[in-house]
Amino acid sequence: MAADEHPDQDQTGVGPTQELSLRVSVGVLARVVFDHPQNGQPMLALERKATLVRKGSSDRVLVRAQPFGGAVRLLVAGALSAVIGNWHFDSQRSRAEQDMRIFIQPTAWQALRQLCLGQLTQAEAGVFESAPDRELAEEFADALNLQLSPEQYTRRTLGIVEERAPVPTDNIHAAGYATARLYRIDEVAIIDRDLVLAVLANSRGVTNQDLTERVLKDARSGGRGRANAVLALPMETVRAQYRTMPGSMRYHPVAMDGNILDGNVQTLFTGELDGTR
């Protein structure tokens, strides 16, 4: 959605300033799961995202697996301004898509945190969207070239994850800035057999090299240099890998089965890594 198409477009600025120095990212992530049709093994589906990264005269393609979902879409920008005062989007892209990736005054964080916690626990959208369904459908369309329907899955909220200590982001649009994060985690269970088979076929049939070639072809034709696929892994294999890691290391990218899992994958197992759940 273009910025000027949004019904409540806030003509705020973009990027950090001396005053607006804390980056905040608010999202809803989907733990997409299904039972393997051959052996009933619980599986986790992640989005494999390939992106062209330009740095000076050098181009490279970054392929990482991450949870489906992402930053929530801001619906009532004025309500946000009324609570925290001045703020900026973190990038032109976030502004165009109305993503809740923003820069605020550090002193405004507690007020924004309380607003976001209240919004994320709501069943209906308010100041921003609080469910992953729209973005989930868009990402399945990108990765699998199919239309996801609500009848193909069930959804339940697992909880809210708060990363209390701001840590530098590796987001290419705001790399290095200290970021406070809030996520709502929803479990999305695929119950449609045909969709399960499509996920498995895509995971097996599309390699990271395939994605890299698609990205380069897209960039040469004037596109944004992006491509998407699905990665399906045994749920317990992923959980066990994180359990072997110190807590401070789980937020870093992890190599697994020839793929790189983004740092936010571990949030899908909140409450399960150090306890007995």
What pTM was computed for the model? 0.85
Residue 39 has pLDDT above 60, yes or no: yes
- Which amino acid is located at 128 in the chain? F
Q: What are phi and psi of 222, to 5 degrees?
A: 95, 10
Residue 175: pLDDT band (50, 70, 90) is low
Task: Give me the percent of the chain exceeding a pLDDT of 90.
Answer: 54
Query: How is residue 262 written in tokens?
Result: 């983004």
The reported pLDDT for the residue numbered 247 is 74
The answer as to whether 26 is a domain residue is yes
The answer as to whether 192 is a domain residue is yes
The reported pLDDT for the residue numbered 115 is 92
The answer as to whether 276 is a domain residue is no
- Give CA–CA dist 98/89, Å, rounded: 8
Residue 70: pLDDT band (50, 70, 90) is confident
The reported pLDDT for the residue numbered 57 is 65
For residue 14, the cross-strand partners are 89
Residue 223 has pLDDT above 50, yes or no: yes
The reported pLDDT for the residue numbered 231 is 97
Query: What's the mean pLDDT in 219-231?
Result: 89
The answer as to whether 244 is a domain residue is yes
The reported pLDDT for the residue numbered 170 is 57
The answer as to whether 277 is a domain residue is no
Query: What's the mean pLDDT in 240-246?
Result: 87
Question: Among 54-63, 78-87, 183-192, 261-270, which is the least confidently predicted range?
Answer: 54-63
- The whole domain housing 24 covers 3-269
Q: Which of 12, 123, 136, 120 is nearest to 69 (CA)?
A: 136
Q: Which of 17-21, 166-170, 248-252 shows the highest mean pLDDT?
A: 17-21
Number of other residues whose CB lies within 10 A of the CB of residue 220: 9
- Which amino acid is located at 109 in the chain? W
Residue 172 has pLDDT above 70, yes or no: no
Residue 2: pLDDT band (50, 70, 90) is very low
- Give CA–CA dist 155/104, Å, rounded: 32
The answer as to whether 274 is a domain residue is no
Q: How many domains does the chain have?
A: 1
Mean pLDDT of the chain: 86
- Give CA–CA dist 48/56, Å, rounded: 25
Query: What's the mean pLDDT in 120-130?
Result: 80
